[in-house]
Chains A and B, each alone.
Chain A
Amino acid sequence: MSQVLFAETPTKLLTQEFGRVVHRDPLWARILLIGTASLFVVLLVLVPVAFVFVEALSKGFSVFWQAINHPDAVAAFKLTALTSTIAVALNLLFGLAAAWAITKFSFRGKSFLVTLIDLPFSVSPVISGLVFVLLFGAQGWFGVWLQQHDIKIIFAWPSILLATIFVTFPFIARELMPVMEALGHEEEEAAVTLGASGWQIFWRVTLPNIRWALFYAVILCSARAIGEFGAVSVVSGHIRGETNTAPLHVELLYNEYATAAAFSIAAILALFALASLVLKAMAERWITTDLYSDFIFRSKT
């Protein structure tokens, strides 16, 4: 048995395992299930995405090119790039810290913290945006104080950043937690008995072990941050060329009947999404290999 285990590559073994389960179902059931699933994917995902590109290029490439090079569009892309980069970086720090605390230690209020991390998943983005308006807006809790000190948060880029951070808050912590749980902490314990400091353990042992999961999480988080519409829409103020992010710019153009231009911006966003999907798929494969090699590592004797 152990010989077979060792000879097979991890991914191949996994598919074989799943393959066996599928083979037990009768043929008609398989055709029905696979057929339905494929139909839904084609109708609800593939066709709309293809449509975005078709519409973007419907008036020719020059229109597309002009639309994405328009100063307002460039400003929107820049704002989106800036806010999502900062949001992802901050969430990366927070996510690592939270996942570390939750999987490596036991403390009071741990399950409460886990629930809190999930909160942005369950709250509608529009509500999240409104919360910031209520806090920092002119009539909000801190509104008067902020006006006195001439600090602008709502209808300016800080609120866009805050809203983006809030909405993408759970992604990295949520991705890392199960992986770190599965890895356990024996390697860290081994490192500490060998005299390694906390930082050394993190950089030399923990980080290499979670690198693909982290990569995966950053991609998911970036994709969500770039595409965020609801919360940002509430707080941004839609000032053209100033507080308009790329997704908001799409809406703005569409409402002005500049359909081809709107779809051109959307096509760029869709390209980003597709690229992140490819990266995500690659990362997924690497994570499985990492975790699965650990499984072989333990069972093969």
Chain B
Amino acid sequence: MLTVIPIHLGNIHKKFGTFVASENVSLDIRAGELLALLGPSGSGKTTLLRVIAGLETQDSGSVFFGEEDMTNIGPKNRQVGFVFQHYALFKHMNVLQNVAFGLQVRKKKLGLSNTQIRERVLELLDLVQLGGLEKRLPSQLSGGQRQRVALARALAVEPKVLLLDEPFGALDAKVRRELRRWLRLFHQQMAITTVFVTHDQDEAMEIADRIVIMNHGRIEQIGTPEEIYKHPASDFVAEFIGNGGPVPGPAPVYLDAIPKIKEYEVEA
């Protein structure tokens, strides 16, 4: 369904006034991997994610999606799926309209009819286990449901890469654990190059294929959860990851059995 591509970031430099958010960062993201950008706040991880999306323009450096030079291409034409920390769902549109948005605005270009769009959206909603909720407004959904609407909306345009900013940041601990596992399995099934930003080391350890640890706009270490856990490259990494953490490594994956998520709906 989706083409899997690697991402290459070359010497990305970005300053906000005098604050250096990204200091000549180079990074190769492998095709189809689930990569975590991990670091404390102000470490430049969100900036890097936004540079990949084109929402932030770097002062210097290059962005490649596969062979394609994206450096001077705006966010409109990068074909990325971006899930915002607070989801940024369109408040005045229902779930169906939210997810259909990306297809609606390029309807003519894609040569799609309303019926085709509707079918595709309903299919996607089933995929993220939101079937039957298409007429609800965002304000009528629980946090976990909103997050999956945001995910479905991002996936509707068949993005080349999926970018998630603190995907579990706004959820409570119980829902967060469920969704983490679900996202891991979901990624396995979709096989799309995915980058997510987090400040939670457990989260990165549990679901990422590889982790990029950032501090002060620089990369401290890149590696699998196990490598980082066993061989921290610096004092900062050792301290940030901590020793009392969980045993690293992604949970075993059963592709055929994506579990149903329990709904934590608020009683109205």
Task: Report which A residues bind B (CB closer than 8 A).
Answer: 2-3, 6-7, 186-187, 189-197, 200, 204-205, 208-209, 290, 293-294, 296-298, 300-301
Listed stretches B73-81, B117-125, B254-262; interface member: B73-81
Instruction: Assess the A209–B80 pair: CB atoms within 8 A.
Output: no
B139 touches A189 (CB 8 A): no
By the criterion CB–CB under 8 Å, are A6 and B76 in contact? no
Q: How far is the CB of B25 from chain A (nearest CB, A)?
A: 21
CB <8 Å contact, B75 and A186: no
Pull 17 A–B residue pairs with CB atoms less than 8 Å apart, ordered by A: A7-B268, A190-B153, A191-B90, A192-B55, A192-B75, A192-B76, A193-B55, A195-B77, A195-B102, A195-B106, A196-B76, A196-B101, A197-B76, A204-B105, A209-B91, A297-B86, A298-B170
| Nearest-CB residue, chain B, relative to A200 | B105
Q: Is the CB of A195 within 8 A of B76?
A: yes
Binding site for A on B (CB under 8 A): 53-55, 74-82, 84, 86, 88-92, 101-102, 105-106, 138-139, 143, 153-154, 156-157, 170-172, 175, 266-268
Q: Which residue of A lies closest to B106 (CB)?
A: A195
Are B138 and A297 in touch, CB under 8 angstroms? yes
Beyond the given pairs A196-B101, A196-B105, 18 more chain A to chain B contacts, judged by CB atoms under 8 angstroms and listed by A's residue number, are A186-B88, A189-B55, A190-B82, A190-B84, A190-B89, A192-B74, A193-B76, A194-B156, A195-B79, A195-B157, A196-B102, A204-B101, A205-B90, A209-B92, A297-B138, A298-B170, A300-B266, A301-B143
Pairwise interchain contact A194-B55, C-beta atoms closer than 8 A: no
In chain B, what residue has the closest Cβ to A199?
Answer: B105
- Which listed residue, A3, A197, A294, A297, touches B266 by the CB 8 Å rule? A3
Q: Across the interface, which residues of A come within 8 angstroms of B77, CB to CB?
A: 195
* Chain B residue with Cβ nearest A208: B92
In chain B, what residue has the closest Cβ to A201? B105
Residue among A193, A208, A290, A301 with most chain B CB within 10 A: A193
Q: Which residues of A contact B175 (CB under 8 A)?
A: 301
Q: Which residues of A contact B88 (CB under 8 A)?
A: 186-187, 189-190
Chain A positions within 8 Å of B81 at CB level: 193
Inter-chain CA distance A12–B165, complex, in Å, is 34
6 smallest beta-carbon distances between A and B, as pairs = A194-B102, A186-B88, A301-B143, A190-B88, A196-B105, A193-B82
**A202 and B143 alpha carbons, distance in the complex (Å):** 27
CB distance from B150 to the nearest CB of A (A): 8
Could you tell me the distance between the alpha carbons of A142 and B109 in the complex, rounded to whole angstroms?
Answer: 52
Q: How many A-B residue pairs have CB under 8 A?
A: 88
- Within 8 Å by CB of A3, from B79, B138, B267, lies B267
From the candidates A187, A197, A298, name the one contacting B105 in the complex (CB within 8 A). Answer: A197
CA distance A200 to B154 in the complex (A): 17
A197 and B53 CA atoms in complex are apart in Å by: 16
Nearest chain B residue, comparing its CB with the CB of A2 = B266
Q: How far is the CA of A6 from the CA of B265 in the complex (A)?
A: 11
A192: chain B residues within 8 A (beta carbon): 55, 74-76
Closest chain B residue, CB of each to CB of A186: B88
Complex Cα spacing A208 to B90, Å:
9
A58 to B82, CA, bound (A): 68
Which chain B positions have C-beta within 8 A of A300? 143, 266
Contacts of A298 in B (CB 8 A): 86, 170
- B170 near A301 with CB under 8 A, answer yes
Q: Looking at the assembled complex, report how far the CB atom of A107 sits from the nearest CB atom of chain B, in whole angstroms.
A: 14
Q: Please determine whether A193 and B170 come into contact, CB atoms closer than 8 angstroms.
A: no
Inter-chain contact A194/B171, CB cutoff 8 Å: no
Residue in B closest to A185 when the chains form the complex, CB atoms: B88
Query: Which chain B residues lie closer than 8 Å to A186 at the CB level?
Result: 84, 86, 88
Please name all residues of chain A whose beta carbon is closer than 8 Å to the beta carbon of B143 when the two chains form the complex: 300-301
B170 touches A194 (CB 8 A): no
Q: In the complex, what residues of A have CB within 8 A of residue B266's CB? A: 2-3, 6, 300
Query: Given that A189-B55, A208-B92 are contacting pairs, would A194 and B84 also be in contact in the complex, using a CB cutoff of 8 Å?
Result: no
